A and B are shown apart, each in its own frame.
Chain A
Amino acid sequence: MIKKKAIVINSKDNVATALDDLKAGEVIQEEVDSLKKNIKLNQDVPFGHKFSLKEIPSGSPVIKYGEIIGAASKLIKVGDYVHIHNVKSNRGRGDIKGGSQ
């Protein structure tokens, strides 16, 4: 059995979680919108970290567990490493006037 390299928790998700230390250039096969797609990683993605299954425009929601986990802080392309450098939180934002919800 081939070890699964990544996991998509919910069909609504636009990110997947790496189940191994993945390298830039690796091609991961995942189901996106009911279609099998080959996703080429643009950067290294460490074990337990996330990469994008779809293009996520700046300001658009990043979805995992079928729920919003934050918003893209810049354009996220398919296969991009997704973490604090390109995702901002919508909650507990004492640094923003009026802050979040």
Chain B
Amino acid sequence: MSFLGFPREDGSVGVRNHIGIISVVVCANDVTLKIAQQVEGAVAFLHDQGCTQTLVDLDQVTRTLVNLGKNPNLAGVLLVSLGCESVLIDEIREKIAVSGKPVKTLGIQKTGGMLPAIMEGSRIAQEMVIKASTIRRETFDDSYLSIGVKCGASDTTSGLISNPAAGAAFDLIYDHGGTCIFGETTEFLGAEHILMRRAATPEVKKRIEEIVTRMEKRAKMMGVDIRGGQPTTGNIKGGLTTIEEKSLGAIVKAGTRPIHDVYEYGNKITKKGLFIMDSPGREPEFLTGVAAAGVQIIIFSTGIGAPQGFPFVPVLKITGNPKTERYLSDHIDKFIKLSEEGENTIAQAGEEIYEEIKAIASGKKTKAEVLGYGQFSNIFTIGPVI
């Protein structure tokens, strides 16, 4: 049982070999995007953060950017700053460079504005792409896989079909010694008692309770019913009535194995097993969180049909909704048909998803990758913009 991946200096294995053009602050997004558009083999990571925020958020943004840079799907990194932002680009560069991959920086103010910055950045990226193109795929056993899971634009078919199928695949990854990461803490509300029973230790059990209480408190601080925000308007249209119903259907996507630990958002996870990353349910923030954790591929279960991918992590779209499969086939990689046998369908679908993950890990492209859907990400922050 093996796949073909790109070996990295720090011992991790990439399934893609991109050069990441990473904006460190919202003000550098435009230049970052232009460089990535100019250079074949480069991808942009854009977000809205990096300045005029509280120190708690600046730490979270810095940590996330560092760990995104370390993601094994990136062979090299060019960090782009404006020059006067609160996050410290040299600190981010030094911390990514520990992984052994090439990291360069570019400052728009220092370089003389947008046009010279695009030119200089494109030249740096061009060099990096050529160097990376000489790295060859090698055979690695399945324990090198690190996979995230997400559900989005959920309806009732998510909880019945595509989430249990994703969960069956997660169990297989776990059983082969790999790393499995899930989150979306808001979607634990009403189902946390089930997750707590699966905690590997009493400390992990306590941590699950803590992050759920914290997320619920944050939502309630706004003084309104969570419904409409969670479940979303689309979820409600899809038949989901309450956050409890959504959560009970959502947690099954993480399978059935013991939960080894709980991490704060944006941390790197190098251990093997099943882990939670505290994170919100919204796509741009969640996908960034698990990419920072170091996953190579994300399984994305959808009901109504969510098209998003991520700039440098392939996102495998699955659905159990036959209408979505028909109308949104440009975005759905795999349809899971529920037969009368129920249980067997799910176990078999889990095996098929597992095989698909290995095919993607070895180079097969997802629909979101081919269409380039998923250019606009974000980083989860807690406090206000000040």
Task: Say yes or no: is B162 at the interface (Cβ < 8 Å to chain A).
Answer: no
Task: Say yes or no: is A89 at the interface (Cβ < 8 Å to chain B).
Answer: yes
Judge whether B190 and A99 touch: CB under 8 Å. no
- Name the distance in Å between B257's Cβ and chain A's nearest Cβ: 19
In the assembled complex, which residues on chain B have CB atoms less than 8 Å from the CB atom of A95? 223-225
Most buried by A among B191, B245, B303, B340: B245
Chain B window 273-300, contacts with chain A (Cβ cutoff 8 Å), 1 for yes, 0 for no: 0000000000000000000000000000
Task: Say yes or no: is B36 at the interface (Cβ < 8 Å to chain A).
Answer: no
Task: Say yes or no: is A57 at the interface (Cβ < 8 Å to chain B).
Answer: no
- Name the distance in Å between A53's Cβ and chain B's nearest Cβ: 15
Across the interface, name the chain B residue whose C-beta is closest to A66. Answer: B248
Number of residue pairs across A and B with beta carbons under 8 Å? 100
Judge whether A48 and B155 touch: CB under 8 Å. yes
In the assembled complex, which residues on chain A have CB atoms less than 8 Å from the CB atom of B352? none
Q: A83-B239, A84-B236 are in contact. Are A65 and B190 (CB under 8 A)?
A: no
Query: In the complex, which of the residues A49, A88, A89, A93 contacts B239, with contact meaning CB atoms closer than 8 Å?
Result: A49
Across the interface, name the chain A residue whose C-beta is closest to B244. Answer: A69
In the assembled complex, which residues on chain B have CB atoms less than 8 Å from the CB atom of A99? 220
Give Cα A43 to B371, complex, Å. Answer: 42
Judge whether A90 and B190 touch: CB under 8 Å. yes
- Name the distance in Å between B187's Cβ and chain A's nearest Cβ: 11
In the assembled complex, which residues on chain B have CB atoms less than 8 Å from the CB atom of A68? 190, 244
Judge whether A93 and B241 touch: CB under 8 Å. no
Judge whether B243 and A91 touch: CB under 8 Å. yes
Judge whether B157 and A48 touch: CB under 8 Å. yes
Within 8 A of A (CB), among B325-360: 340
In the assembled complex, which residues on chain B have CB atoms less than 8 Å from the CB atom of A92? 189, 216, 219-220, 225-227, 230, 243
Judge whether B160 and A7 touch: CB under 8 Å. yes
- Name the distance in Å between B32's Cβ and chain A's nearest Cβ: 36
Q: A65-B248, A84-B236, A90-B190 are in contact. Are A70 and B222 (CB under 8 A)?
A: no
Judge whether A70 and B156 touch: CB under 8 Å. no
Task: Say yes or no: is B14 at the interface (Cβ < 8 Å to chain A).
Answer: no
Judge whether A70 and B226 touch: CB under 8 Å. no
Give Cα A9 to B346, complex, Å. Answer: 14
Give Cα A64 to B247, complex, Å. Answer: 12
Most buried by B among A46, A89, A91: A91
Q: How many residues of A contact B (CB 8 A)?
A: 33
In the assembled complex, which residues on chain B have CB atoms less than 8 Å from the CB atom of A90? 190, 242, 244
> Dominant SS at the A interface?
loop
Query: In the complex, which of the residues B219, B220, B244 contacts A67, with contact meaning CB atoms closer than 8 Å?
Result: B244
Judge whether B223 and A70 touch: CB under 8 Å. no
In the assembled complex, which residues on chain B have CB atoms less than 8 Å from the CB atom of A17? 156, 160, 239
In the assembled complex, which residues on chain A have CB atoms less than 8 Å from the CB atom of B155? 48
Judge whether A69 and B239 touch: CB under 8 Å. no
Give Cα A76 to B170, complex, Å. Answer: 38
Across the interface, name the chain B residue whose C-beta is closest to A7. Answer: B160
In the assembled complex, which residues on chain A have CB atoms less than 8 Å from the CB atom of B248? 64-65, 67, 69
Task: Say yes or no: is A4 at the interface (Cβ < 8 Å to chain B).
Answer: yes
Give Cα A49 to B243, complex, Å. Answer: 15
Most buried by B among A83, A87, A94: A94
Q: A4-B340, A48-B239 are in contact. Are A94 and B157 (CB under 8 A)?
A: no
In the assembled complex, which residues on chain A have CB atoms less than 8 Å from the CB atom of B222? 94
Chain A window 63-79, contacts with chain B (Cβ cutoff 8 Å), 1 for yes, 0 for no: 01101111000000000
Judge whether B220 and A49 touch: CB under 8 Å. no
Judge whether A9 and B241 touch: CB under 8 Å. no
Give Cα A49 to B157, complex, Å. Answer: 10
Give Cα A100 to B303, complex, Å. Answer: 28
In the assembled complex, which residues on chain B have CB atoms less than 8 Å from the CB atom of A89? 225-227, 241-244
Judge whether A82 and B216 touch: CB under 8 Å. no
Across the interface, name the chain B residue whose C-beta is closest to A69. Answer: B245
Task: Say yes or no: is A35 at the interface (Cβ < 8 Å to chain B).
Answer: no
**8 A–B pairs (Cβ distance < 8 Å), ordered by A:** A68-B190, A69-B244, A89-B243, A89-B244, A91-B242, A92-B219, A92-B227, A94-B222
Residues of chain A touching chain B, judged by Cβ–Cβ distance below 8 Å, are 1, 4, 7, 9, 17-18, 46-50, 62, 64-65, 67-70, 82-84, 87-96, 99-100
- Beyond the given pairs A18-B239, A94-B223, A96-B225, 10 more chain A to chain B contacts, judged by CB atoms under 8 angstroms and listed by A's residue number, are A17-B156, A68-B244, A87-B242, A89-B226, A89-B241, A89-B243, A90-B244, A91-B226, A91-B242, A94-B219
Residues of chain B touching chain A, judged by Cβ–Cβ distance below 8 Å, are 155-157, 159-160, 189-191, 194, 216, 219-227, 230, 236, 238-239, 241-245, 248-249, 303, 321, 323, 340
